[in-house]
């Protein structure tokens, strides 16, 4: 087999059946090999960035590895944003790019870029293959590395001549992963039992470690009040009685209040991101902290842990669960207090019953949550709609909520939804986006139509960059700067130009009919939702402030006056 065929052989060996890519000169040998390989489905996206983001969405939704392919030069550089997105959120991804022939590297050849040097900071590891004989071993190592420990993207840059070289080396055997050990938990249990106000704080590491079931059993057995990060949404399951929802900049007052008042913070699979913690010296000021994570680099990075447990959550959490079954926690008063906060200060969004009233983002998302099946996958973009989904949609599983957490990539949602739909061909997948984000990768409407994906698209259109406008209003004396999008195209006509049916709604009484119509349609469909330009996400914490200093709509006027002064 030549090098290109060895690449496909590695895909088969690791049960990789779907890849996302865009061909070009230096990756042509691999595309030629794909002609004869019926076991690998190649999805042609319409931009390389979308290839990477679709592979990201595929990995998030499936729990497997995402694969994207591009050529050298601009093909490779167009992947960079999507790969950085995967790196920030620890998504397992294999990136394969063609490179100019080995003898031309370093000569400024046509479409040559130093992709290895460019991407050092956004990958878990990278390779420039300089010897055809080592390609099979590199493929094996890269696929294992992307998925082991803390997952992440691994990039292989392969010169064109190496893809064409006949390789006699045998295919490498799959490497066995070592059996992880469970660290000693007795000290952590002693801290839990001595706490009067312990709080569970979970993040994206739960699903990355495929520990959803272990986490839920522990959460239910311990009955700890819990908060989640943006990437941890769905960890506790739908309507969990102990969950206070999301904390942080746009979290609920109840969640942030519980963090402020707790005396022990049990952090599981979370990295204490600044959008979650706010100003660090004001975060959980009365609490000791136990930090459980697979990655030693995250422990003590931002806040020293009083006790750290590094390892596999599927080993550590069951050990806690068994101990707590034998001796439950006695925290009834604290549980009652947290439930009261959740009732009085949780996310609230009154549904406007006036038929002719304008649609609000929170009310729309709450109806969407009620109407859609529990296994619906929602892929968001970045902005106000993203926060409304995080606040008001009730997710039953973390893999049902696809969102760009660390990088905040506008344009993520549509290709990520495409990837998720390929991971679950018959499932309900919805891209909830804003008018600004949608235009970042709108060309992928062609991908949806090419593969006739039953994907549903919902655009919440306020004709501006809503989150930027909100911060300009609140923190920059309402001085608006380059946020108007009032020259948006007719999104309904745009979808129809791609042969995708579309519907427009603008009143409260149209919400249910609009949602039910797109869900019932057998194929892709777009719902365009007009919302008010002035609508904000509440509550909000000013960047750099403590979470206890949340601003809600009642304080809006006061805050604006303070900044004018």
What span, in angstroms and rounded, lies between the C-alpha atoms of 416 and 419?
5
Under DSSP, is residue 434 helix (H, G, I), strand (E, B) or coil? strand
The yes-or-no answer on residue 110 being catalytic is yes
Phi, psi of 144 (to 5 degrees): -65, -40
Superfamily of domain 361-545: Thiamin diphosphate (ThDP)-binding fold, Pyr/PP domains (3.40.50.970)
Domain ranges in the chain are 3-164, 185-345, 361-545
Give the pLDDT score at 354. Answer: 63
DSSP conformation letters of 292-318 = EES-GGGTTSSS--SEEEES-HHHHHH
pLDDT for 169: 64
Class of domain 3-164: alpha beta
Is position 160 annotated as part of the catalytic site?
Answer: yes
Among 110, 133, 196, 553, which one carries the catalytic annotation? 110
Q: What is the full per-residue pLDDT of the chain (565 aa) written as tens digits?
A: 999 999 999 999 999 999 999 999 999 999 999 999 889 999 999 999 999 999 999 999 999 999 999 999 999 999 999 999 999 999 999 999 999 999 999 998 999 999 999 999 999 999 999 999 999 999 999 999 999 999 999 999 999 999 999 998 665 555 555 556 678 899 999 999 999 999 999 999 999 999 999 999 999 999 999 999 999 999 999 888 999 999 999 999 999 999 999 999 999 999 999 999 999 999 999 999 999 999 999 999 999 999 999 999 999 999 999 999 999 999 999 999 999 999 998 886 555 556 678 999 999 999 999 999 999 999 999 999 999 999 999 999 999 999 999 999 999 999 999 999 999 999 999 999 999 999 999 999 999 999 999 999 999 999 999 999 999 999 999 999 999 999 999 999 999 999 999 999 999 999 999 999 999 999 999 999 999 999 999 999 999 999 999 998 766 544 444 443 3
Is position 467 annotated as part of the catalytic site? yes
CATH fold of 185-345, please? Rossmann fold (3.40.50)
**pLDDT value at residue 174:** 55
Cβ proximity of 267 and 292 under 8 Å? yes
- 253, with CB counted inside 10 A (0-12, 13-18, 19+), is buried
Element holding 19 (H helix, E strand)? strand 18-21
Structure confidence at residue 182 (pLDDT): 73
Catalytic hit among 124, 160, 257, 456: 160
Inter-axis angle of helices 48-62 and 413-423, nearest 10: 50
Closest by Cα among 390, 374, 386 to 428: 374
Of 111, 335, 337, 463, the catalytic one is 111
Q: Which residue, 227, 225, 247, 245, is CA-closest to 331?
A: 225
Q: How far apart (Å, rounded) are the C-alpha atoms in residues 151 and 157?
A: 19
**The pLDDT value given to residue 553:** 79
Annotated catalytic residue: which of 249, 467, 525, 550?
467
The pLDDT score that the predictor gives to residue 103 is 92
Which one is catalytic: 5, 48, 367, 491? Answer: 48
pTM above 0.85, yes or no: yes
């Amino acid at each position: 087999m030549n090098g290109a065929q060895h690449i496909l052989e590695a895909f088969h060996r690791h049960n990789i059946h779907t890849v996302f890519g865009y061909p070009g000169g230096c990756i042509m040998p691999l595309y030629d090999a794909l002609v004869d390989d019926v076991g690998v489905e190649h999805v042609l996206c319409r931009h390389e960035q979308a290839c990477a983001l679709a592979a990201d969405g595929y990995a998030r939704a499936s729990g497997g590895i995402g694969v994207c392919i591009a050529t050298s030069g601009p093909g490779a550089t167009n992947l960079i944003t999507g790969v950085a997105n995967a790196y920030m959120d620890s998504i397992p991804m294999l990136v394969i790019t063609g490179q100019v022939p080995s003898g031309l590297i370093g000569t400024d050849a046509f479409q040559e870029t130093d992709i290895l040097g460019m991407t050092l900071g956004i990958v878990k590891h990278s390779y420039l293959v300089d010897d055809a004989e080592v390609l099979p071993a590199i493929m094996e190592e890269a696929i294992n590395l992307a998925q082991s420990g803390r997952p992440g993207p691994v990039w292989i840059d392969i010169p064109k001549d190496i893809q064409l070289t006949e390789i006699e080396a045998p295919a490498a055997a799959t490497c066995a992963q070592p059996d992880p050990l469970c660290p000693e938990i007795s000290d952590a249990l002693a801290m839990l039992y001595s706490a009067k106000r312990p709080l569970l704080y979970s993040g994206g590491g739960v699903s990355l470690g495929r520990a959803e079931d272990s986490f839920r059993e522990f959460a239910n057995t311990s009955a700890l009040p819990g908060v989640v990060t943006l990437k941890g949404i769905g960890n506790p399951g739908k309507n969990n009685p102990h969950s206070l929802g999301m904390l942080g900049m746009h979290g609920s007052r109840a969640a942030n209040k519980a963090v402020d008042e707790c005396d022990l913070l049990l952090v599981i699979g979370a990295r204490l991101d600044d959008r979650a913690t706010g100003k660090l010296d004001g975060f959980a000021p009365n609490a000791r902290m136990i930090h459980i994570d697979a990655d030693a680099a995250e422990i003590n990075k931002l806040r020293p842990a009083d006790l750290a447990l590094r390892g596999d959550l599927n080993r550590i959490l069951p050990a806690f669960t068994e101990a707590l079954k034998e001796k439950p926690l006695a925290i009834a008063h604290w549980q009652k207090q947290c439930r009261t906060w959740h009732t009085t200060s949780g996310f609230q969004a009154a549904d406007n019953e006036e038929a002719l009233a304008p649609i609000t983002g929170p009310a729309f998302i709450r109806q969407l949550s009620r109407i859609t099946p529990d296994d619906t996958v929602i892929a968001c973009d970045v902005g106000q709609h993203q926060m409304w989904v995080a606040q008001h949609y009730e997710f039953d599983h973390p893999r049902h909520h696809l969102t760009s957490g660390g990088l905040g990539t506008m344009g993520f949602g549509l290709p990520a939804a495409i990837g998720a739909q390929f991971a679950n061909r018959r499932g309900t997948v919805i891209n909830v986006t804003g008018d600004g984000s949608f235009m970042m990768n709108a060309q992928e409407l062609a991908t949806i139509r090419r593969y006739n994906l039953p994907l549903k698209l919902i655009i919440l259109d306020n004709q501006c960059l809503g989150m930027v406008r909100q911060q300009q209003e609140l923190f920059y004396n309402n001085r608006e700067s380059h946020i108007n999008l009032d020259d948006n195209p007719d999104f309904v006509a745009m979808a129809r130009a791609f042969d995708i049916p579309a519907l427009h709604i603008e009143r409260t009484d149209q919400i249910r009919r609009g949602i039910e119509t797109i869900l019932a349609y057998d194929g892709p469909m777009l719902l365009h939702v007009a919302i008010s330009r002035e609508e904000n996400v509440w509550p909000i914490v000013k960047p750099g402030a403590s979470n206890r200093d949340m601003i809600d709509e009642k304080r809006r006027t006061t805050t604006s006056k303070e900044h004018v002064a």
